[in-house]
């Protein structure tokens, strides 16, 4: 077991602690507090979507689970979205960090900086072969001279975090959000990075997201299907029984749902979305099927080998 991997006893203790309302919540998710990371995430999704014939940076973009900063949402505004709504379950984002990330993003996009590569962010997905700034994939990319004004319009929202200024701002932050936080058929694109694996009810989640999309709108999701370092092996979470997993989870506001890729694909189909593109990131299973807990002992070999996936889906026109 890695020194950085918690033991089962420590995991259970964490779940028990979450049952005590007097203890303060621990905020912060890591990653998105770095402007270059946000630049990389957004442009990787943009490029992969463009390769599949879709556009992300247009109209109203919704980001699910922004985490520590609204950097991905800000990058969307600076590259052609007319407005962005960021939705989170608990308020990670804070004002000072976001102002710093926003100013750095302005420099990166003004300078048309390339997409940061795997040497800088070795575990970041989706992977892209071409790291050049994807101008061709950004038909609504503002002129360099206009970018400062666009960023200026977001500053009131960033200074008010974690509050919401309403429709007056091109950038909104809603936390916590509800299914009716976004009007039906009002979002042109939805993006998430390592977020969809936290929804307990995937059928309801994808149905809600589908209801937000305009006809022809797209959603781009990078999904981490691993144990999130909760177990010594990447797929160890599928060996833990449901009662023990529930004890480990406790009342934490977000926790991996352990759903395999096939559950996501089924939920997308049930939401009447078309699967446009799919990239599976594979890893060898670390244990035989006999050592998996129900219902995971019935997983297909494809599911057992899928550590992560990038999914692009579209609402029919």
Please give the CATH superfamily to which domain 194-317 belongs: Vaccinia Virus protein VP39 (3.40.50.150)
What is the pLDDT at residue 8?
Answer: 67
What is the pLDDT at residue 36?
Answer: 97
Residue 241 structure tokens: 């029984």
Residue 182: name the closest of 167, 195, 197 by CA.
Answer: 167
What is the pLDDT at residue 2?
Answer: 45
pLDDT by residue for the chain (317 residues), tens only, comes to 444 556 666 666 655 566 656 544 445 555 568 999 999 999 999 999 999 999 999 999 999 999 888 999 999 999 999 999 999 998 887 788 899 999 999 999 999 999 999 999 999 999 999 999 999 999 999 999 999 999 999 998 889 887 777 777 899 999 999 999 999 999 999 999 999 999 999 999 999 999 999 999 999 999 999 999 999 999 999 999 999 999 999 988 889 999 999 999 999 999 999 999 999 999 999 999 999 999 999 999 999 999 999 999 999 99
What is the pLDDT at residue 4?
Answer: 52
What is the pLDDT at residue 166?
Answer: 73
- Domain parsing of the chain, residue ranges: 194-317
What is the pLDDT at residue 215?
Answer: 98
How far apart are the C-alpha atoms of 10 and 212, rounded to whole Å? Answer: 39
Burial zone of 22 (CB within 10 Å; 0-12 exposed, 13-18 middle, 19+ buried):
exposed
User: Which strands form 274-282's sheet, in the order they lie side by side?
Assistant: 171-174, 83-87, 60-64, 187-193, 213-224, 306-314, 274-282
Q: How many residues are present in the chain?
A: 317
How far apart are the C-alpha atoms of 252 and 89, rounded to whole Å? Answer: 11
Residue 207 structure tokens: 């149905």
Please write the tens of the pLDDT for every residue from 91-144: 887 788 899 999 999 999 999 999 999 999 999 999 999 999 999 999 999 999
* 282 contacts 234 by C-beta, under 8 angstroms: no
How far apart are the C-alpha atoms of 99 and 276, rounded to whole Å? Answer: 35
Please write the tens of the pLDDT for every residue from 130-162: 999 999 999 999 999 999 999 999 998 889 887
């Amino acid at each position: 077991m890695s020194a950085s991997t918690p033991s089962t006893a420590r995991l259970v203790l964490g779940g028990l602690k979450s049952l005590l309302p007097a203890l303060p919540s621990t905020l912060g998710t890591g990653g998105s507090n770095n402007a270059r990371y946000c630049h990389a995430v957004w442009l990787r999704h943009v490029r992969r979507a463009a390769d599949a014939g879709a556009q992300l940076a247009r109209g109203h973009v919704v980001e699910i689970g922004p985490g520590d900063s609204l950097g991905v949402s800000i990058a969307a505004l600076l590259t052609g979205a007319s407005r962005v709504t960021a939705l989170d379950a608990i308020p990670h984002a804070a004002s000072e960090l976001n102002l710093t990330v926003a100013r750095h993003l302005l420099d990166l996009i003004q300078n048309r900086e390339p997409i940061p590569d795997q040497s800088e962010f070795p575990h970041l997905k989706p992977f892209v072969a071409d790291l050049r700034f994807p101008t061709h994939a950004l038909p609504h990319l503002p002129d360099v001279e206009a970018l400062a004004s666009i960023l200026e319009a977001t500053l009131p929202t960033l200074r008010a975090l974690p509050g919401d200024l309403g429709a007056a701002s091109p950038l909104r932050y809603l936390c916590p959000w509800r299914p009716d936080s976004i009007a039906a058929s009002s979002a042109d694109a939805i993006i998430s990075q390592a977020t969809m694996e936290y929804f307990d009810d995937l059928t309801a989640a994808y149905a809600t997201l589908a209801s937000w999309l305009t006809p022809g709108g797209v959603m781009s999701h990078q999904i981490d299907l691993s144990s999130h370092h909760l177990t010594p092996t990447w797929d160890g979470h599928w060996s833990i029984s449901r009662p023990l997993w529930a004890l480990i989870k406790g009342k934490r506001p977000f926790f991996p749902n352990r759903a395999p890729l096939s559950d996501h694909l089924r939920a997308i189909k049930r939401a009447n979305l078309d699967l446009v593109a799919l990239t599976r990131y594979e890893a060898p299973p670390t244990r035989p099927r006999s050592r998996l807990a129900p219902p995971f002992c019935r997983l297909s070999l494809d599911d057992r080998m899928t550590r992560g996936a990038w999914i692009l889906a579209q609402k029919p026109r």
